[in-house]
Amino acid sequence: MEQIAFYDAKPYDKIWFDALAPAAGISIRYLENRLDKETALLAHGCRAACMFVSDTADEPALRALSALGVEALALRCAGYNNVDISAAERNHIAVYRVPAYSPSSVAQHALALLLTLARRTHKAFTRTRERNFSLEGLTGIDLEGMTVGVIGTGKVGLKFCQMCMGIGMKVIAYDINPIWGMGIEYVRMDELLRRSDVISLHCPLTPQTYHMISRSAFHAVKDGVYIINTSRGALIDSQALLDNIKSGKVGAAGLDVYEEETDYFYEDVSSKVMSDDTLNLLLSQPNVLVTGHQAFLTDQALRAIAETTVDNLRCFFEGVKSPNRLRPAASAAAL
């Protein structure tokens, strides 16, 4: 059996990995620690390591893994902005990812955030649990006929477009690689910002997309625009978002990700003092809905992630070429 070091392991990870790994000849060493240059030492005796979005595979971490004999790094996610692919190549570590696990799961969560904010069902839920059935302050908006601007029409973005069309929204989109023939109107970014009642982000985090929704972008949007982000937190300048929520320029925001989420998301920090003032203030706003990076979290997605990750590792151990291996020159496709 080939042994792998499985970083940042959660109980929901183990269900499908325990079911699938033995048949592929893989033994898993589950670690609660997140991968970084210090915890890399925990992979001693393993030929491969498995990581998630909160782990860090920078040059020091990869160098430490390589020194221990680790030859492969399997990401159980699609995004890889937290991995230095060039450093992995220099340290002779093959990197694999899961390019698509359940696009519908993430797209449905984005739509759930939008519908919840539009109809204020999160507020109604809190009230009725306290036997308060007043409708005062619960007036919502009807999304039918409104324009949603979708940034990134890869697998998730395309699903989201189709769902929005299904509830009668007008869809416009921006993507460097348009998908024609799907009934989507592609426009320039400046036009998308100007025309959209709702903006939803479905693209990877790269140096080019970092803070793409910037302070200047907020100046260009409609008054009262809704912002939805289920991709990567750093696509949005969080302080600029907060300022525009406070000014009323942004009508509501649904965030499943946050640019400084690493210290908080995936963990119970309810008894700790949170030092991130921007996140604290976002959480305090009545028109902001934050979930803890859970858009991927469905039974179907967890199974698909485990299946692809185990197969990526099997390919590595058997010396078989995998289409999911990342190379330094690989371009980032929209998620």
User: Residue 141's domain is classified under what CATH number?
Assistant: 3.40.50.720
CA angle 106-306-324, nearest 5°?
A: 80
pTM of the predicted model as reported, rounded to 2 decimal places: 0.91
For 69-80, b/e burial (b = at least 16 CB within 10 A) is ebbbbbbbbbbb
**Residues 307 and 285 both lie in one domain:** no
pLDDT tens digits, 176-216:
999 998 989 999 999 999 999 999 999 999 999 999 999 99
**Residues 268 and 121 both lie in one domain:** yes
**Residues 113 and 241 both lie in one domain:** yes
Q: Which two tokens stand for residue 328?
A: 């330094």
Q: What pLDDT, on a 0 to 100 scale, did the predictor assign at position 331? A: 41
Report the number of distinct structural domains present in the chain.
Answer: 2
- Full DSSP string of 41-72: GGGTT-SEEEE-TT--B-HHHHHHHHHTT--E
Catalytic option among 120, 202, 293, 314: 293
Q: How far apart are CA 308 and CA 26, in angstroms?
A: 14
**Residues 170 and 263 both lie in one domain:** yes
**Residues 245 and 125 both lie in one domain:** yes
Residue 44 is a catalytic residue: no
Residue 259 is a catalytic residue: no
Cβ neighbours for 214, distance < 8 A, ≥ 6 positions apart: 237, 240
Give domain status of residue 333, yes or no: no
- Has residue 22 got a pLDDT over 90? yes
CB count within 10 Å of CB 136 equals 7
- DSSP letter at 210 equals T
The Cβ-side half-sphere exposure at 120, using a 13 Å CA radius, reads 15
Q: How far apart are CA 263 and CA 43, in angstroms?
A: 22
**Mean pLDDT on 240-261:** 97
pLDDT tens digits, 42-81:
999 999 999 999 999 999 999 999 999 999 999 999 999 9
Q: What pLDDT, on a 0 to 100 scale, did the predictor assign at position 175? A: 97
Q: Which two tokens stand for residue 318?
A: 């058997």
**Residues 129 and 211 both lie in one domain:** yes
For residue 2, report the phi and psi dihedrals to the nearest 5 degrees. -85, 135
User: Are residues 20 and 6 in contact, defined by beta-carbon separation less than 8 angstroms?
Assistant: no
pLDDT tens digits, 139-175:
999 999 999 999 999 999 999 999 999 999 999 999 9
- Has residue 91 got a pLDDT over 60? yes
**Mean pLDDT on 26-35:** 97
- Position 100 confidence tier, pLDDT thresholds 50, 70, 90: confident
User: Are residues 74 and 192 in contact, defined by beta-carbon separation less than 8 angstroms?
Assistant: no
Catalytic option among 120, 232, 259, 314: 232
Q: Which domain holds residue 275?
A: 103-290
Residue 195 is a catalytic residue: no
Catalytic option among 76, 109, 261, 314: 261
**Residues 51 and 148 both lie in one domain:** no
pLDDT tens digits, 261-306:
998 999 999 999 999 999 999 999 999 999 999 999 999 999 999 9
**Residues 175 and 257 both lie in one domain:** yes
More confident residue, 252 or 101: 252
CB count within 10 Å of CB 216 equals 11
**Strands 2-6, 48-51: parallel, antiparallel or unpaired by DSSP?**
parallel
Least reliable range by pLDDT among 89-98, 137-146, 321-330: 321-330
Q: How far apart are CA 202 and CA 262, in angstroms?
A: 20
- Helix, strand or coil for residue 227? strand
- Position 334 confidence tier, pLDDT thresholds 50, 70, 90: very low
Rounded mean pLDDT of the chain? 95
**Residues 77 and 128 both lie in one domain:** no
Q: How far apart are CA 116 and CA 304, in angstroms?
A: 27
How many residues are present in the chain?
335
Report the chain's C-alpha Rg in angstroms.
21
Q: What pLDDT, on a 0 to 100 scale, did the predictor assign at position 106? A: 97
